[in-house]
């Protein structure tokens, strides 16, 4: 940890509370913390649900199946 990094922020980047980690453990911890995003992505509101009146699926024609009285169902 450099003095320049502590001077800019006024606090240490990492601080060990308990135990005495070796260089390999500190390197692994630093790599994990460096891979985390700096800030959480902004939370966006989900799109509001569309009402049944605005749903265009109801206006679509359903498929026609051939068979007896198919000509009657074609008009519906």
Q: Does 47 map to a domain?
A: no
Is 59 a residue whose pLDDT tops 70? yes
What pLDDT sits at residue 9?
61
What pLDDT sits at residue 23?
92
Is 51 a residue whose pLDDT tops 60? yes
CA distances from 14 to 18, 33, 34 (A): 12, 10, 11
Alpha-carbon span 14 to 32, nearest angstrom: 12
Q: Does 25 map to a domain?
A: yes
Q: Strand ranges (DSSP E) for the chain?
A: none
Give 2-48 pLDDT, tens digit per residue.
555 545 567 777 788 888 999 999 999 888 888 887 777 777 878 88
What's the structural domain count of the chain? 1
Range of the domain at 23: 3-35
CA distances from 26 to 6, 17, 75 (A): 18, 13, 75
Q: Does 69 map to a domain?
A: no
Helix (H) or strand (E) holding 3: helix 3-9
pTM of the predicted model, to two decimals?
A: 0.36
Q: Does 48 map to a domain?
A: no
């Amino acid at each position: 940890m450099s003095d320049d990094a502590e001077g800019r922020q006024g606090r240490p980047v990492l601080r060990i509370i308990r135990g005495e980690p070796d260089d390999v453990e500190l390197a692994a911890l630093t790599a994990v913390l460096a891979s985390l995003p700096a800030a959480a992505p902004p939370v966006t509101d989900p799109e509001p649900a569309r009402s049944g009146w605005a749903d265009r699926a109801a206006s679509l024609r359903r498929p026609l199946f051939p068979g007896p009285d198919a000509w009657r169902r074609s008009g519906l």
